[in-house]
Structure 1
């Protein structure tokens, strides 16, 4: 089972990848939105902001987030690590319910370029 530190590191790695992106992916990463990533097996939520082409994690909270972020991810810690390492396909994980992504319709259309 992934640790909180490993999950936070995976989010930082994801952010670094987003910042190095080009073309349509870079345009999608340029959104300025509040973000939460709920790790169900650790009962923890990372909250922050998608800004400057990456993700800035501000807080790590026990349990579900108090406020509803504009972009919300929910998954296990192991799935987060596998997604960031390229071992798990996001579309398949989302389609099977292993990963949940919630956002406004306009944001979902932009985010699909990242996937």
Structure 2
């Protein structure tokens, strides 16, 4: 089972990957939105902002997100590590119900370029 520190590191690694995005993915990474990532098996939520091509985690909360972010990701810690490590395909994980991504319709269209 992934730890809170491993999940935070995975989010940082994903953020670094976003910063180096090119083309359409770069446009998607340039969104300025509030973000939350709820890790179900650890019952912890990372909250912050996607801005400047990065995800900046400002706070970590016990339990579910205390407020509704514009982009919300919900998954198990091991799945987060596998997604960021390239071992788990986002579309397959989403289709199987292992990953939940919630955002406005236009944001979802843009975010798909990152995934």
Instruction: Specify the TM-score bucket, using the shorter chain as the normaliser.
Output: over 0.9
Alpha-carbon shift at residue 71 of structure 1 (Å): 0.2
Q: Which residue of 1 aligns with 2:110?
A: 110
Distance 2:107 2:113 in 1: 10
Distance 1:47 1:34 in 2: 8
Distance 1:84 1:5 in 2: 14
Q: Which residue of 2 aligns with 1:40?
A: 40
| 1:61-76 alignment runs, 5 A limit | 61-76=61-76
Q: Which residue of 2 aligns with 1:53?
A: 53
Q: Which residue of 2 aligns with 1:78?
A: 78
Distance 2:65 2:74 in 1: 11
Distance 2:22 2:62 in 1: 35
Q: Which residue of 2 aligns with 1:6?
A: 6
Count residues with an aligned counterpart: 115
The 3-state SS of whatever aligns with 2:41 is: helix
Distance 1:66 1:30 in 2: 25
| Gapped regions of structure 2 (runs ≥ 5) | none
| Gapped regions of structure 1 (runs ≥ 5) | none
Q: Which residue of 2 aligns with 1:23?
A: 23
Distance 1:22 1:39 in 2: 28
The 3-state SS of whatever aligns with 1:41 is: coil
